[in-house]
Amino acid sequence: MKCEQPMCWCCVWRHIVGPGKDPTLDCGHPSDHIRKQFHGSATAEMCKEYIEDDPKIKVKVTRDTRETFMRAVHQMAVDGGHFAEAEAILDYFLPDTRHLPAEITCDEFDFITKVNFGGNEGIYLDCYAEGRILQDGEKGLWHLGTYKTLGTSLSDMQIFGKLGGTLTYFANKYLWEQGDRFLSDRELRVRAIRKKRKEHKGDADK
């Protein structure tokens, strides 16, 4: 079995283990693990897109930090008219600006919230990203921000619990709508190369 194109590490792995009963040839990526690396593709064409490059293509993407992500989710709740009840009892809202890694380059995480009494006073609503926030990073529980009220009543606890659900909803909405912010640099270049190739093909067909 021989690859005509330069090989990525996935192709090297493919050559080591052999084809087995898999119908794909050459640069195909048969296993679930390899397909995940190539976004579900099992074709040599997709492999070429990942190892080819075009130095003329410049890709820019706005990345979120923990702070900007938390502020964006918070603002969606405010703009949607779902924050007034919590605002009435709020002592402060504090996005995370102190912990590393600060930048978020991967969306393989769940947005979760935890509501509990403070050690000395009030009630806290802490927001986290549970999973992976960096492309090659480890899974973990990454703090995103905190809401605090000085109140300690059942009503206060329920209001913060409701706010947690609201923020979870808008966090998932943000991740869906702003998906490009969380793609790897290589995936962004692949998309740009693919788009340029289609445009070039369209011009050639005219």
What sections of 8-153 are H helices per DSSP?
Answer: 9-17, 32-37, 44-51, 66-79, 84-87
Positive/negative CA dihedral, 39, 44, 47, 49: negative
Q: What pLDDT is stored for residue 62 in this prediction?
A: 80
Half-sphere exposure of 49 (CA within 13 A, CB side): 23
Whether omega before 55 lies within 30 degrees of 0, making that bond cis, reads no
Half-sphere exposure of 63 (CA within 13 A, CB side): 17
Secondary element (H or E) of residue 134? none
Output the tens digit of pLDDT for each of the chain's 206 residues. Answer: 344 444 454 554 455 455 554 444 344 444 444 445 544 444 445 555 554 555 566 667 788 999 999 999 999 999 999 999 999 999 999 999 988 889 998 888 999 999 999 988 999 999 999 999 988 888 999 999 999 999 999 999 999 999 999 999 999 999 999 988 887 777 777 776 667 666 666 665 55
Q: What pLDDT is stored for residue 67 in this prediction?
A: 96
Q: What pLDDT is stored for residue 22 in this prediction?
A: 45
Task: Calculate Rg over the CA atoms of the chain.
Answer: 23
Q: What pLDDT is stored for residue 27 in this prediction?
A: 45
Give pTM, 2 decimals.
0.68
What residue ranges do the domains of the chain occupy?
9-60+186-205, 64-181
